Amino acid sequence: MTYVVIDACIKCKYQDCIEVCPVDCFYEGENMVVINTEECIDCGVCEPECPVEAIKPDTIPDAEKWVALNQKYAKIWPNIAEKGDPPADADDWADTPDKLAQLSENPAQQKNPAQQ
């Protein structure tokens, strides 16, 4: 089992999950973070931290598509181990359902390349 990030994260990217992950298994895109499902140890600490309930166990009904999405982008986006600032308009998107069309495939801007 693993946990995955679903589309509720898109354009919100609050990053409360980043602070608590014991294995730093989050990867950061321009407007979403994902979990590397091979690194996730299934501890579940991140799940209640997310203000928009974007983190789910892979036992939810349509888990397969979210596992695939998380695996795909975890391979191409940079690792994130420290929380950054959420987008300025994050709160405006918090209640918007079905945000998949808003997903940017771009990796996050590197804040401090030396850390990589």
Partner 1 sequence: MSVVAAQNETDFPIPAGVFAQTVTSVHHYTDRLFKFRITRPASLRFRSGEFMMIGLPNAEKPVYRAYSVASPSWDDELEFYSIKVPDGPLTEHLQKIKVGDTVLLRKKPTGTLVNDALLPGKRLWMFSTGTGIAPFASLIRDPETYEKFEEVILTFTCREVGELTYGQELVAAIKEDPLVGELAQGLKLYCTTTREDYPFMGRITDLMASGKVFDDLGVAPISPGTDRGMICGSMEMLRDTKTALEGFGLTEGSNSRPDTFVVERAFVD
Q: Are 16 and 51 spatial neighbours (Cβ–Cβ below 8 Å)?
A: yes
Listed residue (62, 109, 103) closest to 85, CA to CA: 109
With CB under 8 A as the contact rule, the residue among 6, 10, 23, 34 that binds partner 1 is 23
Pick the piece of the chain touching partner 1 (CB under 8 A) from 5-13, 18-26, 28-36, 67-75. 18-26
* Other CB atoms within 10 A of residue 55 CB: 23
With CB under 8 A as the contact rule, the residue among 25, 37, 41, 79 that binds partner 1 is 41
How far is residue 2's CA from residue 38's CA, in Å, rounded to a whole number? 8
Q: How far is the CB of 48 from partner 1 (least distance, A)?
A: 4
With CB under 8 A as the contact rule, the residue among 19, 38, 91, 92 that binds partner 1 is 19
Show the tokens assigned to 101: 């069309």
Binding site for partner 1 (CB under 8 A): 16, 19-24, 41, 43-45, 47-49, 51
